[in-house]
Amino acid sequence: MKNSILVKSLLVFLTIMAFSACIEEKKKRVINFPQTDLSTENLIPKPMKMIATNGGFALDQFTAIYTSDNAGYEEVGKFLAEKIKGKTGLDIQVNVAEIPDMETVIYINRSDSLELNAPEAYQLYITLDSVILNSNTAEGAFRGIQTIRQLIPETRSDSLAAYPIWTIPTGKISDSPQFEYRGSMLDVARHFFSVEDVKKYIDLLAYYKYNVLHLHLTDDQGWRIEIKSWPLLTEVGGSTEVGGEAGGFYTQEEYKDIVAYAAERHMVIVPEVDMPGHTNAASVSYPVFNGTGITPELYEGTQVGKSTFATRKDTLYSFLDDVVGEIAAITPGPYFHIGGDESHVTKKKDYIYFVERVEKIVRKHGKRMIGWDEIGQAKMDSSSISQFWASKENALDAVAMGMKIIMSPATKAYLDMEYDTLSKHGLHWAAYIPTDSAYIWTPESYEGIPMENILGIEAPLWSETISDIGELEYLAFPRAIGYSELSWSIPENRDWENYKIRLANQAPFLDRMNVKYYPSPLIDWKKSKYSYKEIEKD
């Protein structure tokens, strides 16, 4: 009897001790944090609205992630946990059975709130002990966790706790993108890039809330996507590249792998088969389609505008039906890009005939057609999309047909333009585009294209002068980061002086990702305090 009373009191005593230890632990976790201010954080693209409450949420080994059980939410939670692990080394559990007393939580929650009705919108409430992310869709949740990732400091905070803590500033964010299409294009035809390189580019774009990667899959120098019914396209047409290296191509399985990787990041792949010009590689593989009776040679130079399909041949269109059909079948995204640029050796009436016929093929395969702005010369369906790169007149003709426009003016948005005369890579036929002029323009009111026609912005990266991932990164970064803000954030929230500081603070992230960005002298790049390896050792 006596013994059992003793045991009971011991238990009560231990419980109280454990409880107060808990409280003590919790106190330690909220005191002594550096002053934080959500509104001066380094978020890119800048969110629509932010209210700072100047406290700190402690992300640490006692934090857990919970998600609603709607489709796609748990995957978003797991993605966040994986990225937190990469950045901090913390092993954060997702949807564990119960919330132990010690935990602070990140809830990723589906909500029907009207404010969140816009596609990809999300809200973030960060308090001392919870981060609540609300969205209508898993896509919105995915955009929201990029904000959380960016709010987690690159280095751990100083605190009294015996274990490492990363302090996330408290406050509220309501966010949603201005444009539904936020893309970059990668030319894998002039130089081929491996699946692994493409995935790295996708990862970096996803961090800045891009939702489209357009792959320029074919050009004079190479055909980079397997077409099972026409195997020579890749066997012959994929065998070289600019400069004469070995080239390469994606099998359909590899392409599907890229598509799936993008889909996990709520991004779509836009496949482009550039035609009727830019088709030398196709015509070397199947000479019948250029109509000259002569088999052309593989091309390893960088000139444009010398090739064309024979647009009046009926067999051409059954070939293209196969090509478009096979690619469309493995592309879940809504778009198919037919190129259509610089067909300098195609007669204008033949060009128009061709584009109008191919548009029908694309629509038959259930896709929305995109073409470079020259397609504005043809009579297009209003559901088709013109990508404005060079000619305002062509783009305005497309507007007159009720088409949407993707803004990619070469003088402002071309990632392959040199930064300045000292640039290590790039061309400058359109302009030199230093980091500031890439950012300081207003796509919303550019060259008279009405705002309501603008589907979004895309920054193309042509690859005549780049042949590996480091060179790709040199041209794409930091400018691609600026285009993310141009396409997501409203003009009132964009300001070069403010952006410049936020951009400087991307350096630790870019370093950790091993991105060989161009260290623009216009930016006072932040030094990384710890290298990635040092964090791992900690």
Distance CA 227, CA 225 (A): 6
Distance CA 365, CA 11 (A): 70
Q: Of the two residues 289 and 372, which places its CB atom closer to ligand TNX in the complex?
A: 372
Distance CA 456, CA 443 (A): 9
51 phi and psi angles, rounded to 5 deg: -125, 125
Q: Of the two residues 58 and 415, which places its CB atom closer to ligand TNX in the complex?
A: 415
Instruction: Look up residue 218 and give its two tokens.
Output: 């074919």
Q: Of the two residues 375 and 454, which places its CB atom closer to ligand TNX in the complex?
A: 375
Size of the site for ligand TNX (CB under 6 A): 10
Least spacing, CB of residue 355 vs ligand TNX, in Å: 14
Distance CA 254, CA 261 (A): 10
The interface with ligand TNX within residues 179-198 (CB under 6 A) comprises none
Least spacing, CB of residue 341 vs ligand TNX, in Å: 3
Q: Are strands 122-126 and 212-216 parallel, antiparallel or unpaired?
A: unpaired
Binding residue (CB under 6 A) for ligand TNX from 321, 342, 381, 444: 342
Instruction: Look up residue 134 and give its two tokens.
Output: 């609300």
Binding residue (CB under 6 A) for ligand TNX from 341, 418, 458, 485: 341
Least spacing, CB of residue 226 vs ligand TNX, in Å: 23
Least spacing, CB of residue 359 vs ligand TNX, in Å: 17
Q: Of the two residues 204 and 390, which places its CB atom closer to ligand TNX in the complex?
A: 390
Contacts of 319 (CB under 8 A, 6+ apart): 230, 286, 289
CB atoms within 10 A of CB 466: 25
The interface with ligand TNX within residues 368-427 (CB under 6 A) comprises 372, 389, 414, 416, 427
Check 75, 180, 342, 356 and give the catalytic one: 342
Name which of 169, 203, 134 is nearest 55 in CA terms.
Answer: 169
Provide the mask over 291-330, with x wherever binding to ligand TNX is found by CB under 6 A and - wherever it is not: -------------x--------------------------
CB atoms within 10 A of CB 133: 28
Least spacing, CB of residue 409 vs ligand TNX, in Å: 10
Distance CA 504, CA 435 (A): 12
Q: Of the two residues 272 and 326, which places its CB atom closer to ligand TNX in the complex?
A: 272
Give me the half-sphere count of Cα atoms (radius 13 Å) on the Cβ side of residue 71.
3
Least spacing, CB of residue 98 vs ligand TNX, in Å: 56
Q: How far is CA 169 from CA 33, 34, 77, 82, 493, in A?
A: 10, 10, 20, 21, 20
Q: Of the two residues 63 and 394, which places its CB atom closer to ligand TNX in the complex?
A: 394
Least spacing, CB of residue 416 vs ligand TNX, in Å: 5
The interface with ligand TNX within residues 432-471 (CB under 6 A) comprises 462, 464
DSSP code of 375? Answer: G
443 phi and psi angles, rounded to 5 deg: -60, -25
Least spacing, CB of residue 389 vs ligand TNX, in Å: 5
Core vs surface per residue 480-495: b (16+ CB within 10 A) or e: bbbbbbbbbbeeebbe
Q: Of the two residues 148 and 466, which places its CB atom closer to ligand TNX in the complex?
A: 466
The gap from C-alpha 484 to its chain's centroid, in whole angstroms, comes to 8
Q: Of the two residues 74 and 374, which places its CB atom closer to ligand TNX in the complex?
A: 374
Vertex 314: Cα angle to 309 and 318 (nearest 5)? 85
Q: Of the two residues 380 and 507, which places its CB atom closer to ligand TNX in the complex?
A: 380
- Whether 342 is a known active-site residue: answer yes
C-alpha torsion sign, points 199, 424, 407, 299: negative
Distance CA 88, CA 84 (A): 6
Least spacing, CB of residue 427 vs ligand TNX, in Å: 5
Residue numbers at the binding site for ligand TNX (CB under 6 A): 304, 341-342, 372, 389, 414, 416, 427, 462, 464
User: Catalytic residue positions?
Assistant: 342
